[in-house]
Structure 1
Amino acid sequence: MQNSVTHAVLLFAVVGLAACQPAVPDSGSGVGFADYNNYERSRIDRDAALNRGGSTPPSGLGVPAGLGTTATVAPAASGQPVISGDELRSAGLPTGGNSAALPVTSPVSSAPLDATGSTTAPVPVGSGSTGISDEQDFGAVSGRESIESNAERIARQRAAYEVVQPTAVPTRPGSNGPNIVAFALSTTNAVGQKIYNRSGFNAESKFLRACASYPSSDRAQEDFLKNGGPQKDSKGVDPDGDGFACYWDPTPFRKVARN
């Protein structure tokens, strides 16, 4: 008996909770909050009204407050071109049942705005550029020069042209040593071509140690000639016997003399 009472109490509690549960919204609703079928019917009614040229809104669609059921188009401003409803229909465009003429608006200007808000004309790219020569532009040159003026300009340039004649190499002040330029021009053998006999004992280490004491190969060649070179090599700066000390090369001097 007690179990039956307990089951009855539980049953009434479940029923009471179910009654308090809110209704589940319809998941099959269509666009917006209305039923999709009602939305389709409203759309069909609206299209039919537009095709008939009527101004009555379809069912389910209201008219904004303060407006009547028919809408009028404001007349175009004086002197402004208009397009009539007949012209729209002849072009295959819908008129919405209103044959009133529509004003033609001018296109919006695409000119840029300056800091004051007024439009400014675009400046062509490259106009007023300076520092670029147009001597290769036939149109630009022919516009400012003639054959006679060009000939006069060439004559002036030739008259101002100065040819510098080569002169003798100046004597180095404070130096009474051998002239390596004169020595280079007096030789004809290539670098590394043996002309003089040299001792091969400890030649490489002696050569590296001696050449490291000179700031340049020119100074090494001067000292080499001053100490009896090229016939003698007391310091070991010319181990291959070509007459040129510490990688000194007479080729640049020979080329200058030939030119």
Structure 2
Amino acid sequence: MALAACDPAIPDSGSGVGFGDYDSYQSQLRRDTALASSSRQTVQPPASPVASASASPSAAAPSATGAPTAAEIDQALGRTPTTAQPVITPAAPAPVRTAAAPRTAGSAGISDEQSFEAVSSRESIESDAQRIARQRAQFEQAPVTALPDRPQDTGPNLAQYALSTTNQPGEKIYRRGFTSQRKFDRACASQPSAALAQQAFLAAGGPKRDKLGMDPDGDGFACGWDPRPFRAAKG
């Protein structure tokens, strides 16, 4: 302290930096503080999230309370007015579609008889026995009756005759007189089938005699009737 008082080259510390004296510095400091406080009270966020400071009329218009506006404060402090950044509201997320829950075995219209858990939950050994008893009580057996008698006027038995023969079709067994082809064709054409023709042939004296002309080769089989299916069925 003694050295500072004796040295005339040391400047007076009472004067403020950039000001003529310390009182001027304190006065400017109080003014700047008041302006900064007023700026915090009057500057409000923009009403619209997408509005900018240049588009808002309230930034340049004077305050109704007489306080300086944000533009006046920026001008007094030598600051460049800043432009409010637009606030972008995120769009609502698209609705998420969830898959429908699969229908369980207990749903209407679906049988759960194949599910052991479902059946065992409502059935028991006793209930099964009762159900079997009810089914047996409802069972009806048809009465046994005797087979009807076979009519005697159905003609020769073709199965019995086929099994009594051993020769092959076309193999001559019986002697035949002369029979024209025309008589043979006419006799066979009058029968609905070869089986009925064979029955008519046997009923008219066959196989030994052939009054109708149905067996000209003498094998005992009329109009191409074949006994081999009957033999195969027995074998």
TM-score by length of 2: 0.40
If asked which structure has higher relative contact order (CA below 8 Å, sep 6+), I would say 2
Q: Tell me which structure has the larger Cα radius of gyration.
A: 2
